[in-house]
Amino acid sequence: MTLMQGRQMSRSSQVIQPQSRRQFRIQGQVQGVGFRPFVFRLACDLGLSGFVRNEPQGVLVQVQGDLASVQRFTVCIKEDRPTLASYDSLTFQDMAPREELSGQPFEILASVQRHRSRQKTNKTVTVDTAICPDCLAEMRDPDNKRYRYGLINCTNCGPRFSIITDVPYDRPNTSMANFRMCLPCMQEYTNPRDRRFHAQPTACHDCGPQVSLVDPQGQPIEGDPYLKAAAMLAAGRIVAIKGIGGFHLAVRADDAQAVKRLRTLKHREHKPFALLCRDLDVASDLVHLSDHAKIQLQSNTRPIMLAMAKQADQFPGVNPGTDRLGVMLPYTPIQHLIFDACEQLDCQRVDVLVMTSANISNEPLIHKNTDALEHMAGICDAILWHDREIVRSVDDSVLMSMQIEEREEVILPMRRARGFVPATLPLPTSVATPGLCVGGELKNTVALVRDNKVILSHHIGDLTHTKSYHYFQQVIEDLCKLHDIKPQWIAHDLHPVYMSSQYARTLASRWDVRLLAIQHHHAHAAAVLAEHKITEPALALVCDGVGMGEDDSSWGGELILSNVADFYRMGHLKPLMLPGGDSAAKDTRRCALAWLAQLPGVDIPNSDIFSRLIPDPASRMMLANMLTRNVNVNASSSAGRYFDAAAAILGVCEHNHFEAQAPMALEALARTNRRELPSASMYRIRHGVLDMTALLECLILDDTDTAYGADLFHQQLARGLAELAITQAMQSKIDVVALSGGVFCNTLLTQRVTALLRRANLHVYVHQQVPANDGGLAYGQAAVASARIGGPV
Ligand SMILES: [Zn+2]
Ligand SMILES: [Zn+2]
């Protein structure tokens, strides 16, 4: 069936030239992104005949015409492409020209549907994308029919992953299914020369979902929703705003009372808030942005960018205890319309809003209107929403700009979600069968493996929370269905008690498939190696909070010799004997006591520092008992716990209210140090064990000022870790060192370790595609499991 025929533009009929025919197969993100109209326009403009068709595995194109035009077409299709398209492969072959095709119009043929094909299907689902400049201009044009339409989109922009219910990506398989297009929208939708040709969520004021402002009980608030919402925000009120992947809570950032009220209502007292800035100029006034970071911020993924604040405490209460701010630019039409409305209002102009996920701490992001009413009623003063359903919640992605050396910056993913998911990631080795990797416990993500590619899920969260655990199960089911994958194996963390590991066992017996347990730090190391396609053995420094080691103790300050399939532990930080085990991850003072217990000849229970750290006599007695009798203590070589210990000893932070609060505060403080650091080493390495006792002796001296102490801690730990790696590198003759684990989100430590390793002529690799923290773990599991299973695809 012919969907559309091009106008006859047969230049070749006037001057008879030799005909050439060429067939192209393109795989990758080429469906639902305006690829066929792009090919259609290109072929018509060059006067070529032939066709383009979506196939289960990608797109098939045939063109016929004079040789020069076919060659020109080849160059253009390789070098040019629609905004959202990306190629995994493009191949072509020449074929014998067919006389009957000569001079015929170019055609867009109907798709070959999945159910009609027994072949492997292309299940590429496209990412959600920020509003494009064309739509933004239309939305601001009073003469355009979509003037101030809050759900404007086109083939180049708008929601995808968050509204799709099934593949193929067609309107009936999205949450736009119930909205019937009006005639003008339908004309655009069916015109290959229109920007909205086959743009599935296309809509307008007349036929599409409507934006409205309601009070917390769901009662409509009269008037223009954007102007009303802007007026409320300007007055310091909290407005819940429906975004692409869920609701946000917004409040003006420069109103300290309003920010404080939001913290109280949301029960989020400590964790930094992200900021939505009107435009790049506003963001640039707040934080130091490199050219690279600016490009990322303005890209159509529109992540939150963590960057160094230009001014300390510019917005009180927004980023307590850290010197970074997370900034992002508007990405939905509604966000732009709010800033436009703020500008229109006579009252004070608002150009920076706190924009925080609307969820109850650590639970999944709220994305349904009914849930927003139920859970946000007591937190916000109004809800700006619409009636286009969000099918799955997708958080904002978070990147961090990290200066590694003076002229070298990396953009480190911290949370990979909206705009990045479900784009695939590569694997360095081939694997014959599809599989599922269930990730870790905190900052959980899951991954599907197929055709040597990994689909790493969006951020799911902390699985110890019931709702997050249910969401985790839903995501696995959802992604398997959406991508039509039946896993033949399941990889999980070595820790048997992790919720993810338990669920992996349940699924494996239900599906009767193979289980692979993968050591936590090996998965971290493999993630960096896989990202950089390194299959040879490398050294890896993996530093994080906790992960179960092969000896059943907690690891987290590790040097391993690793390839993607196997690893060997070469060295580690001297284990801390943590009183109360896991509770030490929250109470940094327990980490401090464990470190102090390493000091030779110190009677910890009767020491001054013990009384200072634990003023309450009963708690002191309990902890002293644990330490002296060695009961209820867990050995941990975690670098994260050393950070906690140092933070407690220096009086910086006694309690981690959220993960890595103390290390982040310690890093920010270290950057304020102006005293010169010593050249001496304050650590010892014996048989691969890094002992930091000498550093501790210095930190507890009375005259150690906190900024100096924090800086000294970073310096000595970096030197100790680097020396551990350099010594092994020389012995094993390996010159590649990978850095992974959440601790390497610490810029100061990463800078110093990298500089020392490079000075020893070692090549250093850090994460650039998946988070160094446990958000990247499932990808590492995918790399290890695939290498172990192997086999051709
Ligand atoms: Zn657009
Ligand atoms: Zn319409």
Compute, in angstroms, the gap from residue 136 CA to the centroid of ligand 1: 7
Distance (angstroms) between ligand 1 centre and the Cα of 1 equals 29
Measured between alpha carbons, how far is 782 from 166 in angstroms, rounded to an integer? Answer: 24
3-state secondary structure of 132: coil
d(CA 156, CA 493): 39
Q: How far, in Å, from the CA of 196 to the mean position of ligand 2?
A: 11
Distance of CA 479 from the midpoint of ligand 1 (Å): 26
Q: In the chain, which stretches have pLDDT less than 70?
A: 1-17, 112-124, 346-348, 793
CA–CA gap between residue 754 and residue 404 (Å, rounded): 7
Do the beta carbons of residue 767 and residue 528 sit within 8 Å?
yes
Q: How many angstroms does the Cα of residue 239 sit away from the middle of ligand 2?
A: 28
Cα 203 to middle of ligand 2, angstroms: 5
Q: Are 572 and 637 in contact (CB under 8 A)?
A: yes
Q: pLDDT value at position 362?
A: 74
Alpha-carbon distances of 626 from 578, 592, 634, 722, rounded to whole Å: 9, 14, 10, 33
Neighbours of ion ligand 1 (CB under 5 A): 132, 135, 154, 156-157
Nearest to 773 by CA among 646, 657, 639: 639
Q: Any idea which residue has 């196997």 for tokens?
A: 566
Q: Are 528 and 428 in contact (CB under 8 A)?
A: no
The Cα–Cα gap between 651 and 97 comes to 79
- Going by C-alpha positions, the residue among 216, 215, 213 that lies closest to residue 375 is 216
Evaluate whether 300 touches 83 at the Cβ level (below 8 Å).
yes
- The label of the residue with tokens 């309003």 reads 258
Rounded distance from Cα 158 to ligand 1 centre (Å) = 7
C-alpha 146/C-alpha 205 separation (Å) is 7
- For residue 707, which amino acid is it? A
- What is the β-pairing status of strands 398-405 and 408-415? antiparallel
Classify strands 398-405 and 304-308 as parallel, antiparallel or unpaired.
parallel
- Token reading at 557: 């300050």
In 7-56, beta strands by DSSP E:
19-29, 49-55
Q: Which ligand is nearest to the CA of 133?
A: 1
How far, in Å, CA of 470 to CA of 418, rounded?
Answer: 20
d(CA 359, CA 240): 11
> How is residue 100 annotated by DSSP?
G
Give how far Cα 77 sits from Cα of 3, 71, 412, 569, Å: 21, 10, 32, 49
CB atoms within 10 A of CB 106: 30
CA of 156 to the centre of ligand 1 (A): 5
Could you give the CA distance from residue 542 to residue 558 in angstroms, rounded to a whole number?
5
Say if residues 377 and 282 touch (Cβ distance below 8 Å): no
CA of 144 to the centre of ligand 2 (A): 12
Contact 160, 126 (CB under 8 A): yes
Which residues make beta-bridge pairs with 107? 5, 51
Tokens of 343: 């500008």
pLDDT of residue 1: 39
Alpha-helix residue ranges (DSSP H) falling in 205-360: 225-234, 256-266, 280-286, 291-298, 333-344
Ligand index nearest the alpha carbon of residue 196 = 1
**CA distances (Å), origin 417, targets 161, 460, 662:** 11, 9, 25
Q: How many angstroms does the Cα of residue 107 sit away from the middle of ligand 2?
A: 26
- The strand pair at 736-740 and 538-548 is best described as parallel
Ligand 1 centroid to Cα of residue 267, in Å, is: 37
Packing angle of the helix pair 661-670, 706-732 (nearest 10 deg) = 100
3-state secondary structure of 536: coil
Q: How far is 745 from 443, CA to CA, in rounded Å?
A: 14
CA dihedral 527, 533, 538, 540 (to 10 degrees): -20
Query: Using an 8 Å Cβ cutoff, are 498 and 518 in contact?
Result: no
Side by side, the strands of the sheet bearing 106-109 are 2-5, 106-109, 49-55, 58-66, 19-29, 86-95
Q: What is the pLDDT of residue 630?
A: 86
Q: How far is the CA of 43 from the centre of ligand 2 (A)?
A: 29
Q: Which ligand is nearest to the CA of 199?
A: 1
Residue 146 Cα to ligand 2 midpoint, Å, equals 9
CA–CA distance, 328 with 279 (Å, rounded to integer): 9
| Residue 347 pLDDT | 63
Q: How far is the CA of 390 from the centre of ligand 2 (A)?
A: 20
329 C-alpha to ligand 2 centroid (Å) = 28
- Tokens of residue 205, six digits: 């004021």
Alpha carbons 28 and 54: distance in angstroms, whole number: 12
Q: What is the pLDDT of residues 258-298, one digit of tens each?
A: 999 999 999 888 899 999 999 999 999 999 999 999 999 99
Q: How far is the CA of 52 from the centre of ligand 2 (A)?
A: 27
CA of 121 to the centre of ligand 2 (A): 32
Q: Taking the chain, what is the end-to-end CA distance rounded to the nearest angstrom?
A: 33
β-strands 435-437, 489-493: how paired?
parallel
Query: Ligand 2 centre from 366 Cα, in Å?
Result: 28
Ligand index nearest the alpha carbon of residue 205: 2
- How distant, in Å, are the alpha carbons of 256, 310, 342, 351 from that of 285? 19, 7, 19, 11
Q: Which amino acid is at 305?
A: M
Which of 693, 631, 643, 698 is closest to 669 using CA atoms? 643
Sort 674 into a burial class: Cβ within 10 Å, 0-12 / 13-18 / 19+. exposed
For ligand 2, the distance from its centroid to the CA atom of residue 683, given in whole angstroms, is 69
Q: 514 C-alpha to center of ligand 1: Å?
A: 45
CA of 160 to the centre of ligand 2 (A): 19
Task: Give residue 123's pLDDT.
Answer: 56
Rounded-to-integer distance, Cα 5 and Cα 24, Å? 19
CA 27 to chain centroid: 24
**Three-state SS string across 253-276, please?**
CCCHHHHHHHHHHHCCCCCCCEEE
- Per DSSP, 198 falls in state T
Ligand located closest to 152 CA: 1
Per DSSP (E only), the strands in 13-152 are: 19-29, 49-55, 58-66, 86-95, 106-109
- Distance from Cα 194 to the centre of ligand 1, integer Å: 11
Q: Which domains does the chain have, with CATH numbers?
A: 2-116 (3.90.870.50), 123-209 (3.90.870.30), 211-386 (3.90.870.40), 400-525+773-789 (3.30.420.360), 544-765 (3.30.420.40)
Considering every ligand atom, which ligand is closest to the CA of 180? 2
Q: Are 370 and 473 in contact (CB under 8 A)?
A: no
Between the CA of 290 and the centroid of ligand 2 the distance, in Å, is: 41
d(CA 36, CA 82): 10
3-state secondary structure of 140: coil
Give the Å distance between the CA of 83 and the centre of ligand 1.
10
Our measurement of the distance from residue 176's CA atom to the centroid of its chain's CA atoms, rounded to an integer in Å, reads 26
To 5 degrees, how large is the angle CA 782–CA 539–CA 667?
A: 90
The one-letter amino acid at 114: R
Name the 3-class secondary structure at 387.
coil
**Dihedral angle sign, alpha carbons of residues 268, 269, 272, 273:** positive
**3-state class (DSSP) for residue 714:** helix
Q: Which two tokens stand for residue 45?
A: 């403009």
